[in-house]
Amino acid sequence: MKVILEKDVASLGIKGTVVEVADGYARNYLLPRGMAFRATPGNIGRWEEMKRVSGRKNEKGKLKALKIAEKLKGLEIVMEREMGEEGKLFGVITTQDIVEEIRRKSNLDIDHRKVELEEPIRVIGSREVILRLHPEVKISLKVEVKKKEGVS
């Protein structure tokens, strides 16, 4: 039976591929789990149309991400926090804090999940943070954490 894969299947192929499999494997495993659907002429046509629409949507998203990246280019984020002994902060700086600062400085609304931060910032200093605005568009921002003045 010919099927179109809706998900990547390790032993068969990647999403969108038309593959020939045993009837029982398709009926008992792939189809019930939503991993594939029958490759009828109608389904193949619908799948092609979905790919075209998805491709256009992806291009629009990429263009939007490129515009945002251009606006953020060269932006430096400086955050002041209270500090304890040994240069450690009271609390931490998270992706939410970084996004709020970007919103305040550039008036751009970015999802905090697009900020790649392995762990929250806990010490004073400077570091590069990656913003992945789109699978094909990423930008690096400099985040500097300083001691809040006027606090002992």
Identify whether the C-beta of residue 95 lies closer than 8 Å to the C-beta of residue 113.
Answer: yes
pTM for this entry? 0.67
The DSSP code sequence of 59-112 is HHHHHHHHHHHHHHTT-EEEEEE-B-GGGEEEEEE-HHHHHHHHHHHH-----G
Per-residue confidence band for 51, with pLDDT thresholds at 50, 70 and 90: confident
How is residue 113 annotated by DSSP?
A: G
**In this predicted structure, which of 30-34, 59-63, 122-126 has the lowest mean pLDDT?**
122-126
Domains of the chain (ranges plus CATH)?
Answer: 2-65 (3.40.5.10), 69-147 (3.10.430.100)
Contacts of 18-24 with CB under 8 Å at 24 or more apart are: 18/44
Per-residue pLDDT at 99 exceeds 90:
yes
Q: What is the rounded distance in angstroms from the CA atom of residue 27 to the CA atom of residue 18?
A: 16
Token pair belonging to 95: 């992706």
Average pLDDT rounded to a whole number, residues 97-126: 91
Q: What is the pLDDT of residues 59-72, one digit of tens each?
A: 999 999 999 999 99
